[in-house]
Amino acid sequence: MNFKPDQILKTARKRAALSQRELANRAGTSQSVIARIESGASDPSTNTLKNLVEASGFDLDIELAIRPVADSHMLSEVNRILSLTPEERLREVANVERFIKSVKHVG
């Protein structure tokens, strides 16, 4: 996700069919604050953006997502792992667990 506060706020405001002034009144701020954020001249805090989006009638959900590493050795294993049966996947997990225990025991 590209986190672009200006686009997020503008989209929420337009979907709510609000003018900048109407949103500002709902949020208890000035129209110029909304305009500065939407133009990219101001970078609001996450809390400010959340409050403005909520004043538009929407929720702002932010979550962490795993980003794959381009040259990771793990990516080359995906197709192989997906081709395994559930039982074979469980055996793989058991093998990894045994390996981890043996490494901890040696270390």
Containing domain of residue 44, as a range? 5-55
Look up the pTM and report it. 0.61
Question: Taking residues 2-14, what's their average pLDDT?
Answer: 93
Position 83 in a domain? yes
| Residue 7 banded pLDDT, cuts 50, 70, 90 | very high
Q: What is the CATH number of the domain that holds 36?
A: 1.10.260.40
Query: Three-state SS for 50?
Result: helix
Total domains in the chain come to 2
Position 93 in a domain? yes
> Which residues, in sequence order, are CB contacts of 92 under 8 Å at separation 6+?
81, 84
At 16 the pLDDT is 97
∠ Cα 86 91 93 (to 5°): 95
Position 62 in a domain? no
Position 67 in a domain? no
Position 64 in a domain? no
Question: Taking residues 3-24, what's their average pLDDT?
Answer: 96
| Residue 57 banded pLDDT, cuts 50, 70, 90 | very high
